[in-house]
Chains A and B, each alone.
Chain A
Amino acid sequence: MLLEARNLRIAYGDATAVWDASLEVGEGEIVSVIGPNGAGKTTLISAIAGLLRWNSGTLHLNGNDLARVAAHRVCAHGIALVPEGRRLFTRMSVEENLEIGCYLPAARAARDATLERVYGLFPILRQRREQMAGLLSGGQQQMVAIGRALMARPRLMLFDEPSLGLAPAIVDDMFDIVRRVREEGVAVLLVEQNVLKAMEIADRAYVLEQGRIVSSGVPSDLLRQSHIREAYLGV
């Protein structure tokens, strides 16, 4: 197992967002975590990315315990994040954004090769490499965010609600890209509100509701259960 999370509990002060979450991601897998708004998906993935501390539970990447790792060292362990809402550096150019992705020495050494791969994946970014990232469209910004994460040459990529704020047609493209990322040998953990898309692409999935994993398994099995419906629609 590449990533192993056991009984994570994550709270902001005394507001517990995630009560008890356990999940695994294997090499080269695409794993989805779905759940309605407010279920704790972003909290969970932010903690795995090192943006938040968790209160109890364990998290291992490649057997390494991430509990004592400082926030700026998490990336070096092989995790890269595509944040919710893209969160690009809007005042920097597209290429500069990508370069921040390979800031760490190991990735920086391979900068040119990785940059070529990213431009190969997203030709339009090559055209707009000098443009300020803030001026791009939503879909293009998402490409930059994904490219930035790829530049870090991660073993595991985390996607936080990749479809948020994007037009349906672009959402399809986005999920194609997620597949291609896996083809590059990178494992994917994605949290998503959009059930259909998340289930289509996943090898395995978890359902998160009110801060707890209520169900897990193969997408086709999960879709037959009532959990998802109840969680999202309350009926």
Chain B
Amino acid sequence: MPSMTLLGQSLVSGVLLGSLYGLVALGLSLSWGLLRLVNLAHFALAFLGAYLVYHLGTVWHLSPWWAALLIAPLFFAFGVLQHAVFLYFRVTELTSLLATFGISVIIESALQWIWTADFRRFETHYASTSLKLGPIYVPVVELAACIAAAALAWATWAWLRWTYVGKALRAAAEDPEIAVAFGINRRGLSFLLSGVCAAYAGVAGAFIALISTLAPSQIWTWLGVVFAVVIIGRLGNPLGALAAGVLIGAAESVAMATFSPAWAPVVSFSVLIALLLWQPDWL
């Protein structure tokens, strides 16, 4: 049985990591919940963003914050373009799963071609700084990610909750025909949403670059966890995604400390399987 300090540290690390899960899950949850399309390419896009931030930072010495600001609109455009293609080919939920699977591999290959399969680490001067709260270390970058995740999740929630566009999106997701009957331009809004989700992927990627070591194959290791987070947090619910991410991150971390690191993936996948079997009606 590990010590209290170790447990405490795991918990904190887990919460921080979990908030990063939530940040990645945000875009996926929105597009799946509101657009009814499963976008596996979200992960690949996030890693593309990560590599771009890394590249801009190491080669052009651009601060990651500026880099993120630069790539967000680019990714927005990519999201709009991808959605246009999907609409043109009348893609369904299952076909979107397959097609985005393919897009992910294309991006992964591109990443490997440009940056090779070697692990890459984005070295910044604050990468190694930590705050110390009692016996527990809180890495600054991870804390920043946590704050960003919370801020973005809350902002998204507020957008969906309070603005007309947000309400229109929610209405169109539930009953597209009637939403259209009241003047909501569902098609146009779906482009907007795709762009936003892709931009979110880019932002998540910036934090991935700051926190994790990068390798193209890492795209797939995140897949299962984030899907579990999206489903547990309820599709289309930004705060839910954050909460679920934190929950899973903490559970994984504690499991790792208590048993062994290798068992961590089992936690999220088992929860995912359990949920799918138990069949909540929010799916």
Do A and B contact each other directly (Cβ–Cβ < 8 Å)? yes
The answer for the CA separation of A87 and B174 in the assembled complex, in Å, is 10
The answer for the CA separation of A104 and B164 in the assembled complex, in Å, is 10
Return the CB mask of B173-184 against A: 1 if under 8 Å, else 0: 011011111111
CB of A73 within 8 Å of the partner chain: yes
Return the CB mask of A66-85 against B: 1 if under 8 Å, else 0: 00000111111000110100
Return the CB mask of A50-74 against B: 1 if under 8 Å, else 0: 1100000000000000000001111
Whether the Cβ atoms of A75 and B181 lie closer than 8 Å is yes
The answer for the CA separation of A71 and B174 in the assembled complex, in Å, is 17
Q: How far, in Å, is B237 (CB) from chain A's closest CB?
A: 10
With contacts A90-B174, A91-B174 known, is A71 near B167, CB below 8 A? no
CB of A100 within 8 Å of the partner chain: yes
Q: How far, in Å, is B10 (CB) from chain A's closest CB?
A: 36
- The 8 Å CB contact of B182, one of A91, A92, A96, A103, is A103
CB of B36 within 8 Å of the partner chain: no
The interface on chain A, measured as residues whose beta carbon lies within 8 A of the other chain's beta carbons, has a size of 26
CB of B186 within 8 Å of the partner chain: yes
Q: How far, in Å, is B199 (CB) from chain A's closest CB?
A: 24
Whether the Cβ atoms of A89 and B181 lie closer than 8 Å is no
CB neighbours of B120 from chain A (8 A)? none
The answer for the CA separation of A75 and B164 in the assembled complex, in Å, is 17
- The 8 Å CB contact of B185, one of A50, A72, A80, A90, is A72
Tell me the total A-B contact number using a CB cutoff of 8 A: 62
Whether the Cβ atoms of A76 and B183 lie closer than 8 Å is yes
The answer for the CA separation of A81 and B183 in the assembled complex, in Å, is 11
Return the CB mask of A87-118 against B: 1 if under 8 Å, else 0: 10111100010011101100010000000000
- The 8 Å CB contact of B170, one of A73, A74, A91, A108, is A91
- The 8 Å CB contact of A96, one of B167, B184, B185, B186, is B167
The answer for the CA separation of A95 and B185 in the assembled complex, in Å, is 21
CB neighbours of B182 from chain A (8 A)? 75, 80, 100-101, 103-104, 148, 152
CB of B99 within 8 Å of the partner chain: no
Whether the Cβ atoms of A87 and B178 lie closer than 8 Å is yes
Closest residue of A by beta carbon distance from B175 = A87
With contacts A87-B175, A89-B174 known, is A49 near B183, CB below 8 A? no
CB of B219 within 8 Å of the partner chain: no
Return the CB mask of B154-177 against A: 1 if under 8 Å, else 0: 000000000010011011001101
Q: How far, in Å, is B234 (CB) from chain A's closest CB?
A: 11
Q: How far, in Å, is A158 (CB) from chain B's closest CB?
A: 9
The answer for the CA separation of A72 and B171 in the assembled complex, in Å, is 14
With contacts A72-B185, A92-B167, A108-B164 known, is A100 near B174, CB below 8 A? no
With contacts A72-B183, A99-B164 known, is A92 near B178, CB below 8 A? no
Some 27 contacts from A to B, beta carbons below 8 A apart, are A49-B181, A50-B181, A51-B180, A51-B181, A72-B180, A73-B183, A75-B182, A76-B183, A80-B182, A83-B178, A83-B181, A89-B170, A89-B175, A91-B170, A91-B174, A92-B170, A92-B174, A99-B164, A100-B167, A100-B168, A100-B171, A100-B182, A103-B164, A103-B168, A108-B164, A148-B182, A152-B182
Task: State the B residues within 8 Å of A (CB).
Answer: 164, 167-168, 170-171, 174-175, 177-186
Closest 5 CB pairs of A and B: A75-B183, A104-B183, A72-B180, A89-B171, A72-B185
Task: State the A residues within 8 Å of B (CB).
Answer: 49-51, 71-76, 80-81, 83, 87, 89-92, 96, 99-101, 103-104, 108, 148, 152
